[in-house]
Amino acid sequence: MRRHHAILALTGAGILALAGCGSDSETPAPATPSTSTVPSADPSGRPGADPTAARPDSGLPPSPAPAQRAAYLAALNAIDPEIVNGQDDKAVSRGLDQCQSMKGEKDPTKRVAGANQRFIGPNHPNGFGPVKSTLIVAATQTNLCPAY
């Protein structure tokens, strides 16, 4: 199992390194809307709250930076392309939810069980199983919430 973690960590590090080596001729990423045009994702419903900010009371980390997001999605696609299945935002949202559940849960078995329930796909309605779920947990922790 440790070999899987090492492979995943090296893959993520390689992707991060490549992401920083892009040329100036690349198409720039589309601008993200300002928080004034985006409805608040703050559970309190306060207008103008930054939906990408960390919510320490809920255990959610902040939304990932573009390089983190790309590395996370690449790691999930390397495990099984059906995990993301072309729904990048949904995969990131599930990852942030996984981070929230991992913050208070230190038992690796329960973390993997949570990922197996949370990450599903069209051909895997009951999850991806313990091996892939273990890799999902590692990818999530490495790329979205390393402090958890």
With respect to residue 99, please indicate whether it lies within any of the assigned structural domains. Answer: yes
With respect to residue 43, please indicate whether it lies within any of the assigned structural domains. Answer: no
Give per-residue pLDDT as tens, 77-116.
Answer: 999 999 999 999 999 999 999 999 998 888 999 999 999 9
Minimum mean pLDDT range among 50-59, 82-91, 118-127, 129-138: 50-59
Q: How many domains does the chain have?
A: 1
With respect to residue 140, please indicate whether it lies within any of the assigned structural domains. Answer: yes
Q: Which two tokens stand for residue 108?
A: 């690796």
Minimum mean pLDDT range among 59-73, 74-88, 132-146: 59-73
With respect to residue 116, please indicate whether it lies within any of the assigned structural domains. Answer: yes
With respect to residue 21, please indicate whether it lies within any of the assigned structural domains. Answer: no
Across the strands, what pairs with 74? none
pTM for this model (two decimals) = 0.63
With respect to residue 79, please indicate whether it lies within any of the assigned structural domains. Answer: yes
Q: Which two tokens stand for residue 44?
A: 């309190």
With respect to residue 103, please indicate whether it lies within any of the assigned structural domains. Answer: yes
With respect to residue 3, please indicate whether it lies within any of the assigned structural domains. Answer: yes
Q: What domain range includes position 89?
A: 1-8+65-148
Instruction: Write the CA distances from 74 to 23, 34, 36, 126, 130, integer angstroms.
Output: 20, 26, 31, 22, 20
